[in-house]
């Protein structure tokens, strides 16, 4: 079957196109151009003659064309200044009031409690090793220094260091440990030249913690120390100070005791502190508190105390020196 052609390739159609005439309407291109011209003239007649710009508009146009670049630079500068001023205003801190400071401090304390003092840390370390030493059955006396003293545990077996004058003449010695456990004790050795006595308890508490002993070779004037004991029977009590002297000599008020090579310190000590430990800021024992210096007969602390170096005390207990 023969296909029907959709588009005719007739030579007649081509001829009409070459003449420039509209095939369907029979209107020439010249007629169309004349009609467009007539329409444009009619529209111009309706709008009237073009309006002349005013003097102000002309002046503004001339000003803009002449100063366009300077105006652009000025505008950019003003914008930059505005941004900088706004930033400075936003970032400049306002003046703090006392209320602001108080609230900041309280907020910090709530989030992070203050760290304990060095003395508190040292006491926490040495506390389980400090004991109260009592002369039980002692007749009523005003000699508090003999009735109550202090000691420090140096071995897990229950070996305790204290002063001779704390236990001298006792009919019975009782030791109270930091957990409240009580035990009778007896003297196993003495070292009179250093006023040192070594005690052994009859009953050893569970988990008894001996103190850590430290040589005085690295001890310097100004180093922090604490004294732990039972001053006037009140305790355990802790006082802090510094090492104020080394290799000091001490003569008791009545001349009955002469001690040499002592550590001088200014942590408060009173009757009842005798036999207690003198401890460094890291909780290590460098001496055994043995005396206080007071020119009067009141036997109270006025700023100078003495401790036997731990090397001497360790030797009294039969421990090898440092």
Residues annotated as catalytic (active site), given as ranges: 165, 195, 274
Question: Which DSSP letter does residue 96 get?
Answer: P
The answer to whether the beta carbons of residues 159 and 151 sit under 8 Å apart is no
Q: Omega into 30 within 30° of 0, i.e. cis?
A: no
- CA 149 and chain centroid, separation: 38
Please report the DSSP string for 133-154 in residue order.
Answer: EEEETPPS-S-HHHHEEEEEE-
Question: Which DSSP letter does residue 317 get?
Answer: T
Q: Which two tokens stand for residue 78?
A: 């003003």
Phi-psi region of 145 (alpha: psi -120 to 50; beta: other; left: phi over 0): alpha
Q: 283 burial class (0-12, 13-18, 19+ CB within 10 angstroms)?
A: buried
Q: Which two tokens stand for residue 318?
A: 């039969």
The answer to whether the beta carbons of residues 228 and 276 sit under 8 Å apart is yes
Coil/strand/helix, residue 263 = strand
* Residues 138, 141: Cα–Cα separation, whole Å: 8
């Amino acid at each position: 079957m023969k296909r029907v052609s959709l588009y005719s390739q007739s030579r007649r159609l081509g001829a009409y196109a070459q003449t420039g005439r509209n095939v369907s309407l029979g209107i020439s291109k010249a007629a169309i151009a004349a009609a467009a011209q007539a329409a444009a003239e009619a529209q111009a007649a309706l709008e009237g003659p073009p309006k002349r710009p005013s003097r102000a508009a002309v002046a503004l146009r001339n000003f803009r064309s002449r100063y366009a670049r300077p105006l652009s630079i000025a505008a950019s500068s003003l914008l930059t200044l505005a941004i900088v001023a706004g930033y400075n205003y936003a970032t400049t801190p306002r003046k703090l009031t006392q209320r602001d400071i108080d609230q900041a401090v309280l907020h910090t304390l709530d989030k992070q409690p203050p760290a304990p003092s060095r003395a508190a840390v040292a006491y926490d370390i040495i506390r389980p090793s400090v004991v109260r030493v009592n002369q039980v059955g002692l007749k009523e006396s005003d000699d508090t220094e003999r009735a109550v003293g202090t000691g420090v545990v140096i071995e897990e077996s229950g070996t305790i260091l204290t002063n001779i004058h704390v236990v001298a003449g006792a009919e019975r010695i009782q030791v109270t440990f930091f957990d409240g456990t009580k035990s009778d004790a007896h003297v196993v050795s003495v070292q009179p030249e250093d006023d040192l006595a070594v005690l052994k308890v009859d009953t050893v508490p569970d988990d008894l913690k001996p103190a850590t002993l430290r040589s005085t070779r690295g001890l310097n004037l100004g180093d922090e120390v604490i004294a732990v004991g039972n001053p006037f029977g009140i305790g355990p009590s802790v006082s802090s100070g510094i090492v104020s002297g080394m290799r000091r000599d001490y003569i008791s008020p009545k001349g009955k005791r002469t001690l040499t090579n002592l550590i001088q310190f200014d942590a408060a000590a009173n009757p009842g502190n005798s036999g207690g430990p003198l401890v460094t800021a890291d909780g290590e024992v460098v001496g055994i508190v043995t005396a206080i210096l007071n020119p009067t007969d009141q036997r109270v602390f006025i700023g100078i105390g003495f401790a036997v170096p731990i090397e001497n005390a360790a030797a009294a207990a039969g421990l090898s020196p440092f």
